[in-house]
Amino acid sequence: MIQTLTHLPHPHEDGPTLASHFTDLAPPLNARQAQLEASRCLYCYDAPCVNACPSEIDIPSFIRNIHTENVQGAAQKILSANILGGSCARVCPTEILCQQACVRNNAEECAPVLIGLLQRYAIDNAHFSEHPFQRAAPTGKRIAVVGAGPAGLACAHRAAVHGHDVVIFEAREKAGGLNEYGIAKYKLVDDFAQKELDFLLQIGGIDIRHGQRLGDNLTLSELHQQFDSVFLGLGLAASKQLGLPHEDAPGLLAATDYIRELRQANDLTQLPLADRCIVLGAGNTAIDMAVQMARLGARDVNLVYRRGLADMGATHHEQAIAKANQVRLLTWAQPEEVLLDDQGHVRGMRFARTHMENGRLQPTGETFELAADAIFKAIGQGFDNEALHDPLAQQLHRVGERIFVDEHLQTSIPGVYAGGDCVSLGQDLTVQAVQHGKLAAEAMHAQLMLNVEAA
């Protein structure tokens, strides 16, 4: 139970009914549907969908394999570029990436090839008798990976393929990072993140050590001395603050904390439910939080953003999901005051109406109040600076909060690489994190082998 919400009631529906609200957001294609959808692909030369894919999957090739009923070949094509292709097929915003770039996405045809669903079909229906990737001969090199999220896992797998021994240091009880703890429950169902992890680890040569937190019982200095290369896949673990009084009042918390609790809950009936709730933010996490609270039975869910709909980080597809679940999207409103009841619990929030004036966001002078039993912050994640407080870590060059890396994902410290949300390169997407991990592993391998040859 989340301590700050212990005063709230539980959902009124029974367990099976609640569970039915968190089934697959997008049901998978069957074999006939996959065949028909694959037949729509034009197998473009220099396909724009490939250029739009952060992990550079050969999309026309894997779709052709589906069309010729070579599902395993399709899956191997996907996994060779993106070892977490199954989860990415479910959570990746394909509507603004590969499918938006599809040449069939035009006024005459109106619909792109459903690349995400075809990718999921290939991964889900490939039945490998053995792991499709084999390790190279052992190199004798050891690589430390900090963080078992998408970036860290992708780095570990690719490094293991090259014959290196990998140790992943993970703070939490389970590996998977965002896929395990931070994605809406209806997007990754049936414990998919752990099944994907089990498949990835079949390559061998990867050891995961849990309860290891950088800045607590682990330092970058130690890892740099003990391993041949280090990869930092730290993510952004700290929730940003509103900077308002009463921000620690019962009933106000980070959306990511609730989403984590929801994803790990075996019994949804025991979760705290805010009958009236406010979600602050404009990204996919805000949408995930609002929709899940609505599906748990909240009567009044308001997602509030200080700018307009066009500026929201959440895609139109995600906004449509929110509206379909009766989430009210309120824009041009900035949090001004947390309102408390006589017991000191959250009872609502006062907002200042905003507008753009000379290119800057300004208050209009008007205010309004919304009643709420709980307020969830989804205003962005920040860097946990405690992770990098040892002397070597403090030498890392930063771009704002994030770690600076070059085009090879190497930090300012030789032999230390980084990727995913904690770096200044690319988009904060699962598929982008996977690509970072993969490219960092390739760069590590090239440098380590170059050192061996030089010796």
Q: What is the pLDDT of residue 237?
A: 80
Q: What is the pLDDT of residue 381?
A: 85
Give 114-165 pLDDT, tens digit per residue: 999 999 999 999 988 888 999 999 999 999 999 999 999 999 999 999 999 9
The architecture that CATH gives domain 239-381 is: 3-Layer(bba) Sandwich (3.50)
Taking the domains of the chain in order of start, what are their residue ranges? 31-125, 142-237+383-454, 239-381
Write the DSSP string, 243-302.
--TTTTSTTEEEHHHHHHHHHH-S-GGGS---SEEEEEESSHHHHHHHHHHHHHT-SEEE
Average pLDDT value for residue range 351-379: 96
Going 93 to 313 to 401 to 335, the CA torsion angle's sign is: negative
Least confident of 251-260, 349-358, 378-387, 399-408: 378-387
pLDDT classification of 400: cutoffs 50, 70, 90: confident
Q: What is the pLDDT of residue 453?
A: 61
Q: What is the pLDDT of residue 126?
A: 94
Which of 293, 205, 281, 278 has the alpha carbon at shortest distance from 240? Answer: 281
CATH 3.50.50.60 correct for 142-237+383-454:
yes
Q: What is the pLDDT of residue 388?
A: 86
Give 40-66 pLDDT, tens digit per residue: 999 998 999 999 999 999 999 999 999
User: Residue 364: is its pLDDT beyond 90?
Assistant: yes
CA dist., res. 116 & res. 94, Å (int): 6
Q: What is the pLDDT of residue 236?
A: 86
Q: What angle do CA 321, 323, 324 make, to 5 degrees?
A: 65
SS3 329: strand
pLDDT classification of 454: cutoffs 50, 70, 90: low
CATH 1.20.120.80 correct for 31-125:
no
Average predicted confidence (pLDDT) for the chain: 94
pTM of the model: 0.94
CA dist., res. 40 & res. 119, Å (int): 14
Tokens of residue 203, six digits? 């390559």
Fold match between domain 31-125 and domain 142-237+383-454: no
User: Residue 452: is its pLDDT beyond 80?
Assistant: no
